[in-house]
Structure 1
């Protein structure tokens, strides 16, 4: 399956004799760039604001817990991407620390599910988790449907909220929301309203150490925990693969599972009758799952 996040046609001219046939065999997003600029809209982002079309599987302790210790273990570096409460939970004075790099539904994500739903995925109850604070050190962390009573401090990219249909209410922070850098806050402010949380207190920047992750090839375990196959570019990334090449053999290797997340051409490429197979799962420089085939020329 080939999922295209961004498709810019621009000045790209593809003749029948110069068609690259692309077969995607990995669970990731592919960007075909053919003009300058970018687009912030994303089907994967929209997906996060909707309830899953299939029943969510809460793995292990994340089937739903009433114990704060179990919830903390679930959000540890060796925990799971999705963790849930069975009802209201009072952990007053305690800190929930969210750490590690995880994939959920093919995207970088950590989900705090504070709700219940019926077989039609309608929200039947929204719960409250009471803590002193949540420290978010995992990218893609989001609060789903319920309320966090306490402060939330964000040190990683991709923080957002999720609110589904059903009983009245929305994802809420009954406290203050802080970001460790202005860039993190600016990225959050650019989100559509449907992906934001209701905040009863203040939203501000309190400078701290932003958690970052390197680009590279990755694999995900049963509960979404990420392991690097390699950091940066793989061994099949030959000279010119990321800066621009017209050599089909170089492109083919770089798009494989030991290649690079960003591959570029510097001229028309005639790969008539050949398949370029995109294999493997990769993180880009912003800790998002992505493969890009850039067929453009642009000014710096």
Structure 2
């Protein structure tokens, strides 16, 4: 660990030195400045090796530069928030950086790391991802986003506006889409989850209009879909809610379908849709407008609270058990 910390410190020092060229200085002065620079880096940077520390370091209470010491997997959204300046100096330009790598004293990259996250929302202006890989979708809500030539985003990059996209500098590889549009409308209103507790929260009245799982999820108790929501979280649009147990490409072709296993799902949200994927368990529908799309399956029974609720439902997909009114 001591060796890696030294390497990470070298990463940060080298990174800062590369931020801008300076005129040559006498050797004694250069050595002094290098020492001062290294001290500034240590006191203003976050060097992390686990998920909670990374989430905190990239928050509004974090630091201008964040470096990782290894591969890190985060099961929740990372929000890159707050205004920061180069080297933590308010007199310098607004700037922030994620450095998932280490390097030697000559700035040669030694190790590259991967940050795996379901969703990273960028709210900090002039945020740069350098070297290494971010595996997940990036939602850009601030100007000046940069992906360096030696960095990769294994996922999609969505911009909240055309202006934000125009201000971005994408030199590295993006394996998915880079676009402004419908997908980016979901930036701050969707929940992308990987575990049961997060799914229950997302489906609750305090959750979001659309929630998706990124893998198979098993819940041991009842899942209640509650609250009134609108399409894309816009009150001017119709009441609508959706569960999306799948992933798709930029052309909206389904790539992977997942299974939610739950003993009981109770639907109290009006116009709730289950699209693609599988719900393994019984579904109890108490609100009008329930929809099961043709490419989705309920491996269990569907019970409606009344004939009116049943009549208002659209069940195009497969239900392996009964579809009936049960009071």
- TM bin (shorter chain): 0.3 to 0.5
> Which one has more relative contact order, counting CA pairs under 8 Å at least 6 apart?
1
- The TM-score normalised by the length of structure 2 is 0.42
Normalized per residue, the structure richer in helix is 2
- The TM-score normalised by the length of structure 1 is 0.46
Larger radius of gyration: 2
